[in-house]
């Protein structure tokens, strides 16, 4: 072996417009690109930290020198996971994701395959991705919906979590009467508020409801699930693969994000565990470049729903290669993750 190295750089990605959810609104997202090089072959990963899961770009840069030591043999995926866990048992999932991504791409490039073929995953068509209408004032949210529909998107995910939620949902259904609507409250509703919203969701023909209550309120979600016609999908309640078992009693489905679970192989394990417990599965994302989105897209053919618009929301995506037609994301076909640095 020669030229073995792990390197990284942090980029500031900018959304085309401020992106708001119940907890915050941001326009700048630091993302760290990790590169593993061995024998002249390169594998890449992306760390997309989220403060809700205890990470910032500062923590990413602080722990990468330690966690990168675990990546020595890119083919030893179990050994990589064991090494990462030994160094940091429970924290820094986005860094672990980036390193796992880099190992997988190195292996796929070394044999000339896309990662999904390397893993023997389904070649089934990907589910149509939603496009997010971020939280803002109602006229701005109407504009976002109008522009998304004009661009051909047929599934919108609406960010809620305010006292204006009924008015927002009514306005967006009026603005976009034919699209499929999904709602994401980002854990911001109280139990009484969530119960009051059930009739509003029904009237707006909402397809699914993502994380209405606080992450640790599984009893509240279980009660709401018994009352709701709309399927409940866990996001903030899911931090680790092992969480899936407990969530099966409170939710109808889970939203898998590679950056919060620790990588594609961890998301794949969570997906299989979810299926074993009768749960539906969404593949989701953070605000990420096309590198991170492509990694999630490699698993999307196994899922019921997709929410992979993170790179579409950017003004300055540093990677190219994903093929979108409105909400239709084509399965990545290139070697490795199938994207190139622009």
Q: What mean pLDDT do residues 54-79 have?
A: 96
Q: What percent of the chain has pLDDT over 90?
A: 94
CA 336 to chain centre: 19
| Cβ atoms 155, 182 nearer than 8 A | yes
Q: Is pLDDT of 60 > 60?
A: yes
The pLDDT value given to residue 164: 96
- Please give the residue that has the higher pLDDT: either 156 or 23: 156
The pLDDT value given to residue 122: 87
The pLDDT value given to residue 195: 98
Q: Is pLDDT of 327 > 90?
A: no
Lowest mean pLDDT among 269-278, 281-290, 306-315, 326-335: 326-335
Q: Is pLDDT of 311 > 70?
A: yes
The pLDDT value given to residue 1: 46
Q: Is pLDDT of 321 > 80?
A: yes
- Please give the residue that has the higher pLDDT: either 24 or 197: 197
Backbone angles phi, psi at 308, to 5 degrees: -120, 40
Q: What mean pLDDT do residues 284-312 have?
A: 97
Mean pLDDT for all residues in the chain: 96
The pLDDT value given to residue 2: 60
The pLDDT value given to residue 90: 85
Cα–Cα distances in angstroms (integers) from residue 336 to residues 22, 67, 100, 207, in the given order: 36, 22, 13, 34
What is the tens place of the pLDDT at every residue in 96-136? 999 999 999 999 999 999 999 999 998 889 999 999 999 99
Q: What percent of the chain has pLDDT over 70?
A: 99
Q: Is pLDDT of 326 > 80?
A: no
Q: Is pLDDT of 234 > 80?
A: yes
What is the tens place of the pLDDT at every residue in 188-204? 999 999 999 999 999 99
């Amino acid at each position: 072996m020669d030229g073995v190295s792990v390197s990284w750089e942090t980029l500031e990605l900018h959304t085309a417009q401020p992106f708001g959810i119940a907890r915050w609104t941001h326009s700048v997202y630091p993302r760290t690109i990790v590169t593993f090089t061995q024998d002249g072959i390169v594998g890449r990963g992306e760390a997309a930290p989220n403060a809700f899961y205890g990470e910032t770009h500062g923590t990413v840069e602080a722990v990468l020198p330690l966690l990168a030591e675990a990546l020595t043999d890119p083919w030893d995926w179990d050994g990589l996971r064991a090494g990462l866990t030994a160094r940091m048992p429970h924290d820094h999932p986005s860094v672990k994701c980036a390193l796992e991504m880099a190992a997988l791409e190195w292996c796929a490039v070394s044999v000339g395959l896309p990662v999904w073929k390397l893993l023997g995953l389904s070649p089934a068509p990907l589910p149509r991705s939603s496009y997010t209408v971020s939280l803002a004032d109602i006229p701005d949210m109407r504009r976002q919906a109008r522009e998304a529909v004009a661009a051909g998107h047929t599934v919108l995910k609406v960010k809620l979590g305010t006292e204006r939620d009924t008015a927002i949902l009514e306005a967006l259904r009026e603005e976009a009467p034919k699209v499929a609507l999904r709602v994401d409250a980002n854990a911001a509703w109280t139990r009484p508020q969530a119960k009051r919203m059930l009739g509003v969701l029904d009237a707006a023909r909402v397809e699914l409801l993502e994380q209405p209550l606080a992450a640790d309120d599984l009893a509240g979600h279980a009660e709401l699930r018994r009352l709701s016609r709309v399927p409940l999908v866990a996001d903030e309640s899911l931090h680790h693969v092992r969480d899936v078992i407990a969530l099966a009693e409170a939710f109808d489905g889970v939203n898998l994000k590679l950056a919060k679970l620790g990588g594609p192989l961890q998301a794949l394990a969570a997906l299989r565990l979810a299926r074993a417990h009768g749960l539906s599965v969404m593949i989701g994302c953070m605000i990420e470049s096309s590198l991170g989105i492509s990694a999630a897209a490699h698993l999307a053919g196994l899922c019921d729903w997709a929410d992979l618009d993170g790179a579409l929301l950017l003004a300055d995506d540093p990677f190219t290669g994903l093929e979108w037609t409105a909400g239709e994301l084509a399965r990545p076909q290139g070697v490795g993750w199938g994207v190139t640095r622009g």
